[in-house]
Structure 1
Amino acid sequence: MINEPSAPTATHEFDLTTAPIESFTALQEARQEVFSSERAHDAFQRTIRGLQPTGPEGLRRGLGAWMIGDYEGACDALSAYASDDVASFTHANALMTLKRYVEAQPIFKRLAEKYPGEPKAQGGYAEACFEAALSEHGEHEIDAICEVYERELAAAGEGFADSAEGQYLAGRAAEVRRDWQLALDHFGKARELNPAMRRNLFHLGLRAERCGLDLEALVAYQQLASLAPVDLPAMMNLGMLLEDLGRDQEAAACYDVIARSRPMDRRARLYLSDAVAGMDMYYDEDQERKEDRLNQILRIPITDFELSVRARNCLNKMNIMTLGDLVKQTETELLSFKNFGETSLNEIKEILGSKSLRLGMGRQEAVLSIESTQQRYVSGENAEAMNRPILDLELSIRARRTVEYLGCLTFGDVIQHSEEELLGMPNFGVTSLTELKEKLTIFGLELKPRQ
């Protein structure tokens, strides 16, 4: 009902109208498919709007609303399906996201009694009770609330304390008691057990940030920001943290996501304006540089990768010569080609995944993906220079093409390579090497030492 994982299947677009939804875990897995591309997301929204508000379609309409992050709509639709356990658990989770803890309590309680060994149901009930009590009584009765809460956790059953839910809830109790280190320890263990637990990642990031552990907070917020749909409060916190670290361009990107999602959010627009003002270049110029980085990757020829003869021949016949040509295709389009099967498809997906790309990817999504996975250099006296894009080196075409071929996006990426590696590249000679070294020296950098 709640946690039994669905069997692995071939990746296809999730069909809300017909797909079996036997557990909440299956719903979470399908949620990622919905956000796999802008086209998939738009199609899914159209499907939701086409469903009737009552009967079996009404239930699926409510589940679909939760999947796209419309929690108010999910609550409205799913309240009529209390007899369906997946709908009830989804409804309760939507209520928790909206901080309507008192309404979530009876739903989680029924599920916890029906599934006594299920940590998600037990944890949901304990968390709803705890957060509701804190909301009602505030700091005046923290010790009493925590004592009751911790007794409930201890009585939750064998193994619960070692589950991701148990560790997260223990962390919340420690956090409320202001035992910051213990809270961070529990949140960290919960993340190890379940890296996709949203509330845990948020509290881990928030607590780490307030304890001055900026890099740990950054990792937690980035993990949370990578989950679909985007957690806007986490994105706001991530933006502020990036500004504190002097990474104004990335901060502006975070605020821009919020401003686009919530056009009337004056706070996000103000922060965006401030972040742009703190940048060395205009925001649209930064976007252009991101596009250039993406183009470097999209220009990589398919022949640079090890592919089976069948896959290579099929791509040639389809006139797919570069990664840019490939990302424009969908799985359905590739599989419809003669002799192109699941094995060849998996080869292609592995190649794209190595470059943080996927089939059917929109250009804007690709830009954001490349930017989010780009290696960051956060320590050392030359960290700022190391994060600059290679275009700032103003290299000759021959030298630039070589470092692009090696997959370098920043100065820091370039200096991971030695003179020997570079001289071993086609059309890269002593003249190009001397040029590159002189440009790097201007910024206080040098190539990797000879082994």
Structure 2
Amino acid sequence: MPTAIADVDLDKLLEAETLSRETVTHIKEQVYSSPELREELDEKIAALRGSIKKGHEGQEGKDITLLLGILTWVIGNIKEASEFLKEVKTRKIGAYYLGKCYQELGDYNQAVECFERAKKTDTEEFDICMDIAETKRLAGKNEDALKLIKSFSQSHGNNPEFHYQLGHCLDALGEYDDAFNHYEQSLRIDPNHQKSLFRMGFNYDLNGEDEKAIECYEQCIDLYPHHKNAFINLGILYEDKGNFDDAIYCFETVLDAEPNDPRALLFLKDAKASMNMYYDEEISKKQGKESEVLNIPISDFELSVRSKNCLEKMNIRTLRDLTRITEIDLLSFKNFGETSLNEIKAILSQKGLHLGQALESDHETEIFRNKNAEKKNETVKTVDELGFSTRCRNALSKAGVEAIKDLTEKTELELDQLGIKPNYIDEIRDKLSEIGLILKTAGNDTSSADESITE
């Protein structure tokens, strides 16, 4: 049962001596664990906004601004939070969370400057140094980040965050095996270290080990605060496996927190569209029953000897055979007259069928297929219009294949060389076939390659 926000007296955060990063972290974990707790925090933020409008000045005004900046950062309003925190950046806690805002906004130089300001008087120098190292890595300064992290190897070698940051830095430098070992070490120390779980899942995902990736991502999303990219990547994996309900849940969870997230909106639309493409179970059952009826043998019905003999000579054994022949065909057969014809019609009518029914259906289907193929060939111009799975489309986009014309000019070998996995090549073949197109003919040598997923 999560601790209610009321148990963490937010008013005490206005007192400089009790305002700590640990308290803020605790609040963030709690508000993401329950909609009710989030509502409490929203009410608190609204009250603080009201206090700001009343024009509090001096120390009290700064305290309100500081708290409002931190709490708006907690709920993800980064730009707004940064504006509040700029006004209180002389306080180490204000400088720290302003640094977090700058980091998330991609202003890495400003972020490092703020973290350095917060670190000067902070007794927990390790935590802020890891923030600095992370920011340097994000800025592409991997060697500088690695040097800073390794300086804590003696004092914090048993800290899960140390191994996570070291692993991620080694990842960025291409030392993947060593990086993986450090993620594993981090999780041995703390099995619920969320960032390490995500990186493990991400690496499994890149290597095509979907089941292991799903296991890590599922552990990751059970922790608070929610890891957005874990939900997105897990949703994509679920969609690839046909688990559309689970995929939709993942994308909707992201949108609950960030209603305008473009990736989550796109993937949710794809997942819902893919789910609608699957056959209706009731229709399938109906088709199964119809098939059973069509397979009923003629011998099961009471027919005159003449009718039975004629049907047998015409090699008509089942009701399905009768639906594939016309009245004219029957009447043209020797000794088959109107009486026998009426017998046959009565039998078929009992089962909701009629002579020539299958021929009519085949003809309509063929017309539909031809018209549909013509229509698709006229209107489908881009890869996005073919309804590929999210991962297949991502792989084609990464390879620079956007137009149908470009796709049909590729051989399977060329697609493989562009990093398109064999299962996606199969999917491409099937989708092109639906509109009467094929890949360029050539060899069929395939191999695996990774694709874009959310880091």
Q: TM-score, normalised by structure 1?
A: 0.51
1:216 is aligned to 212
Question: Partner of 1:17 in structure 2?
Answer: 11
TM-aligned CA distance change 1:267 to 1:124, over 3 Å: closer
- Distance of 1:82 and 1:261 partners within structure 2: 27
Structure 1 residues 15 and 112: alpha-carbon distance in aligned structure 2, compared to 1, 3 A threshold: closer
Unaligned runs of 5+ in 1: 1-7, 135-144, 286-451
RMSD: 3.2
Change (3 A) 1:226 1:71: farther
- 2:110 aligns with 103
Large movers: runs of 4+ above 6 Å = 8-11
Query: 1:352-363 to 2 correspondence within 5 Å?
Result: none
The one-letter amino acid paired with 2:132 is Y
Offset of 1:265 from its aligned partner? 4.3
Aligned: 1:45 with 2:42: yes
Provide the identity percentage: 25
Q: Give the whole-Å Cα distance in 2 for the aligned partners of 1:261 and 1:214.
A: 26
5 Å-filtered alignment, 1:121-200, equals: 121-132=128-139, 134=140, 145-156=141-152, 158-194=154-190, 199-200=195-196
Task: Indicate the residue corresponding to 2:69 in structure 1.
Answer: 62
How far residue 217 of structure 1 moved from its aligned partner, in angstroms, is 2.4
* 1:270 Cα deviation from its structure 2 partner: 3.4
CA displacement at 1:236 relative to structure 2: 1.3
Report how far residue 240 of structure 1 moved. 0.6
Is 1:237 aligned with 2:244? no
Task: Give the aligned length.
Answer: 265
User: Partners of 2:112 and 2:238 in 1: how far apart?
Assistant: 37
C-alpha distance after superposition, 1:273-329 (max 9, x if no partner):
3323433899xx9xxxxxxxxxxxxxxxxxxxxxxxxxxxxxxxxxxxxxxxxxxxx
Structure 1 position 194, deviation (Å): 4.7
Query: In 2, distance between residues paired with 1:267 and 1:67?
Result: 22
What is the 5 A alignment of 1:330-369?
none
| In 2: Cα distance, 1:274 partner to 1:38 partner | 27
Alpha-carbon distance, 1:105 to partner? 0.4
Deviation at 1:166, TM superposition (A): 1.9
* Higher mean displacement: 205-214 or 120-129: 205-214
Instruction: Return the alpha-carbon distance in structure 2 between the equivalents of residues 204 and 95 of structure 1.
Output: 26
Structure 1 match to 2:345: none
What is the rounded CA distance, in whole Å, between the counterparts of 1:195 and 1:96 in structure 2? 27
Q: Which amino acid aligns with 1:16?
A: L
Deviation at 1:45, TM superposition (A): 0.9
Query: 2:106, 2:194 → 1: CA distance?
Result: 14
Q: Which residue of 2 aligns with 1:431?
A: none
User: Is residue 83 of structure 2 the alignment partner of residue 86 of structure 1?
Assistant: no
> How many angstroms apart in 2 are the aligned matches of 1:87 and 1:190?
29
Partner Cα separation in structure 1 for residue 3 and residue 247 of structure 2: 38
- Runs of at least 5 residues in structure 2 that lack an aligned partner in the other structure: 53-60, 282-455
Distance change in 2, residues 1:196/1:112 (3 Å)? farther
Q: For the pair shown, which has the larger CA radius of gyration, 1 or 2?
A: 2
8 Å CA contact 1:13–1:33 kept in 2: the answer is no
SS at 1:114's partner residue? coil
2:159–2:189 Cα contact (<8 Å) kept: yes
C-alpha distance in 1 between matches for 2:135 and 2:158: 20
Which residue of 182, 198, 202 corresponds with 1:202?
Answer: 198
Supply the distance in 1 between the matched residues of 2:98 and 2:271 (Cα, whole angstroms). Answer: 37
Contact preservation (8 Å) 1:224, 1:234: yes
| 8 Å Cα contact 1:126-1:152 kept in structure 2 | yes
CA shift, 1:60, in A, is 0.9
* CA shift for structure 1 position 251: 0.5
